[in-house]
């Protein structure tokens, strides 16, 4: 019995090592010479996980970084930690709850009032939980897409006046399972896997958002990129049901890279020179990749844009900046 158990454990360990280090391409380290002094970045969801790892590297490069996050305690702590670790004093927390369009507007107006520049907007925050927001939309779809859509529109003029500038939208390979129906947009999908489907839909929306935004920004020197960060072991999965956790944890260990590695593609698209010609495209493992066919559908991208404008209340308000 004991011998078999040891053999099994040895095989598992070998498999783990192979999977963890053999199959995952090594992410290129961010070039240390990236000179970001004088540039201002916003990272949504910057208080933990990939967002904090992204913010840390931007701060290390000399950028002024605004951590836009919901929880003030965690946000202030992360800002303090990053200032200490990088020696860069230009890191601050500002409150943003993407599950509230009112909060998105308040954040945008406070930012525009207090910060003269914006060169990098990293739309990184994400949730995978079910639920309905105060605005009446499904939680994942609002946090991952609609809230970021509104935020980007409200900050677009500032990005344009500071150009060249970039928007990085953190999507996911989960976009392959996404479906978007314009008439039911923002409502929880039917069925037992509603929250998971909603997450996938929001990630498809992310990739399409980048595509249509790029089209509208042609000639402005503002470029945008959708990225798949890698299946990263962060708080995104704190909502996994308890009974699933034992099954899930080995997978987390096997396939999920650490947050620092997950941040690499965001950082690459934010800082790599010469990516301008790829505006609107999708990157994974710091390489250009073709997303799934639905995510390349320009008509769907335009339909999503018009519906999103309507849902967040940007139509007919004169608020949406015309590129």
Residue 104, judged by CB atoms within 10 A of its CB (0-12, 13-18, 19+), counts as: buried
Q: Please give the structure tokens belonging to residue 127.
A: 């949730």
Asked if 205 and 180 count as a contact pair (C-beta separation under 8 A), the reply is yes
Q: 315 vs 99, 113, 137, CA distance in Å?
A: 20, 23, 18
Contacts for 123 with CB less than 8 Å, ≥ 6 apart: 44, 148, 151, 152, 167, 168, 169, 170, 206
Q: Please give the structure tokens belonging to residue 268.
A: 């690459």
Asked if 213 and 224 count as a contact pair (C-beta separation under 8 A), the reply is yes
Q: Which residues pair with 68 in a beta bridge?
A: 44, 94
> CA torsion sign, 226 to 231 to 233 to 237?
positive
Q: What is the largest CA-CA distance in the chain?
A: 73
> CA torsion sign, 186 to 108 to 166 to 74?
negative
| Number of CB atoms found within 10 A of residue 271's CB | 22
Q: How far apart are CA 230 and CA 319, in angstroms?
A: 35
Helix (H, G, I), strand (E, B) or coil at 95: strand
The catalytic residue among 21, 199, 225, 268 is 199
Q: How far apart are CA 102 and CA 104, in angstroms?
A: 5
Backbone angles phi, psi at 284, to 5 degrees: -145, 145
Q: Please give the structure tokens belonging to residue 173.
A: 């390979």
| Number of CB atoms found within 10 A of residue 312's CB | 26
282 is catalytic: no
Which residues participate in catalysis according to the annotation?
199
């Amino acid at each position: 019995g004991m011998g078999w158990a040891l053999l099994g454990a040895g095989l598992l360990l070998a498999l783990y090592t192979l999977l963890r280090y053999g199959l995952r391409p090594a992410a290129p380290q961010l070039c240390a010479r990236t000179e970001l002094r004088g540039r201002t970045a916003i990272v949504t969801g910057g208080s933990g996980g990939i967002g904090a790892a992204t913010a840390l590297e931007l701060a290390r490069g000399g950028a002024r970084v605004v951590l836009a996050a919901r929880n003030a305690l965690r946000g202030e702590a992360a800002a303090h930690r990053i200032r200490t670790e990088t020696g860069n004093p230009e890191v601050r927390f500002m409150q943003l709850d993407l599950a509230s369009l009112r909060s998105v507007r308040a954040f945008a107006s406070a930012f525009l009032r207090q910060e003269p520049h914006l060169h990098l907007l990293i739309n990184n925050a994400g949730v995978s939980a079910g639920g309905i927001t105060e605005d009446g939309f499904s939680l994942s779809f609002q946090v991952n897409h609609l809230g970021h859509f509104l935020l980007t529109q409200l900050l677009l003029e500032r990005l344009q006046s500071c150009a060249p500038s970039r928007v990085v939208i953190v999507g996911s390979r989960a976009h392959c399972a996404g479906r978007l129906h314009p008439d039911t947009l923002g409502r929880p999908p039917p069925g037992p896997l509603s929250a998971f489907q909603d997450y996938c839909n929001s990630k498809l929306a992310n990739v399409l958002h980048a595509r249509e935004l790029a089209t509208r920004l042609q000639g402005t020197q503002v470029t945008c990129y959708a990225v798949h960060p890698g299946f990263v072991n962060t708080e995104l999965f704190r909502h996994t049901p308890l009974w699933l956790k034992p099954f899930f944890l080995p997978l987390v260990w096997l396939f999920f890279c650490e947050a620092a590695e997950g941040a690499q593609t965001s950082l690459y698209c934010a800082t790599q020179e010469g990516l301008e010609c790829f505006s609107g495209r999708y990157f994974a493992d710091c390489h250009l990749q073709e997303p799934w066919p639905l995510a390349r559908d320009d008509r769907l991208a335009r339909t999503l844009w018009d519906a999103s404008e309507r849902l967040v209340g940007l139509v007919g308000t004169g608020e949406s900046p015309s590129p």
